[in-house]
């Protein structure tokens, strides 16, 4: 029986609708480039990357189904886990089944190579460190913003950020959209073309409506990535 490729998508918040779409697009591009067919797709309900395996029913099902010589495909290490413990547990389960782990962002991992295993451990640590660092930065930023009243109304924040319970936090969905608009603009796309592409992809603004030309121009002018 031919080996299968199982793709795993994870998004972090309930409002993050664009991320799985973008992950699938990038994995599809990688698969075609490497002449690989994704046999099955698994998309986890919104959950943090530090959540344990038992708290991820979709990942658990995938790990149960994956067989010998099969491959688990993720966009990058952050989509699989932002915890060294969880990441190492996934590696261990794949190892017991002689299955492989592949990344669509170009990262390579060879279990039989000590250097590769070391680098993957470093990347897992960096992913967890980044998650904690973001939490510290956003909390510090909120303290400054609170004093200067730069945050404004509770529901009004700069695009790419959200006021969650009084804390300014990165909005993953808006970050994805903002980066996408910037990328398309850098490639020479007109605002009208960007408007049409976002509408076709079903991407909505904060009000749940399609993006207007003026709204896209405003994001292109003011958006700053986290």
Q: Where are the domain boundaries for CATH 3.90.1750.20 in the chain?
A: 151-222
If pLDDT is split at 50, 70 and 90, which confidence band does 213 have? very high
Any residues with CB less than 8 A from the CB of 34 and at least 6 apart, and which?
none
Q: Where are the domain boundaries for CATH 3.40.50.1390 in the chain?
A: 5-123
DSSP state for residue 153 in the 8-state scheme: S
Say yes or no to pLDDT of 225 above 70. Answer: yes
Residue carrying the six token digits 């592949």: 102
Residue 214: exposure state from Cβ atoms within 10 A (0-12, 13-18, ≥19): exposed
Segment of 51-55, 81-85, 207-211 carrying the highest mean pLDDT? 207-211
DSSP state for residue 226 in the 8-state scheme: -
- The CATH number, out of the four listed (3.90.1750.20, 3.90.950.10, 2.60.120.380, 3.40.50.1100), of the domain defined by the range 151-222: 3.90.1750.20
What percentage of the chain exceeds 70 in pLDDT?
76
pTM for this model (two decimals): 0.54
Contact 104, 74 (CB under 8 A): yes
Q: Name which residue leads in pLDDT, 53 or 119.
A: 53
Say yes or no to pLDDT of 154 above 50. Answer: no
Instruction: Quote the tokens at residue 149.
Output: 């009243």
CATH of span 5-123: 3.40.50.1390
Q: Name which residue leads in pLDDT, 221 or 125.
A: 221
pLDDT tens profile 173-206 = 999 999 999 999 999 999 999 999 999 999 999 8
């Amino acid at each position: 029986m031919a080996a299968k490729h199982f793709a795993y998508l994870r998004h972090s918040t309930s409002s993050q609708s664009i991320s799985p779409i973008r992950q699938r697009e990038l994995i599809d591009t990688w698969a075609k480039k490497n002449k690989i067919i994704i046999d099955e797709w698994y998309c986890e309900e919104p959950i943090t990357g530090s959540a344990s395996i038992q708290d991820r029913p979709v990942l658990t099902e995938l790990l149960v189904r994956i067989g010998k010589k099969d491959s688990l495909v993720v966009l990058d290490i952050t989509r699989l886990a932002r915890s060294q413990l969880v990441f190492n547990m996934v590696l261990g389960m794949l190892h017991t089944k002689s299955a492989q782990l592949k990344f669509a962002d170009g990262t390579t991992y060879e279990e039989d190579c000590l250097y590769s295993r070391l680098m993957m451990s470093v990347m897992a640590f960096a992913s967890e460190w980044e998650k904690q660092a973001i939490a510290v930065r956003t909390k510090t930023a909120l303290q400054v913003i609170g004093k200067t009243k730069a945050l404004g109304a509770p529901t009004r924040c700069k695009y790419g950020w959200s006021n969650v319970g009084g804390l300014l936090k990165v909005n993953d969905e808006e970050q994805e959209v903002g980066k996408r608009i910037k990328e398309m603009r850098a490639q020479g796309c007109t605002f009208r073309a960007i408007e049409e592409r976002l509408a076709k992809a079903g991407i909505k603004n904060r009000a749940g409506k399609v993006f207007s030309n003026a709204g896209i121009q405003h994001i292109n002018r003011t958006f700053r990535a986290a």
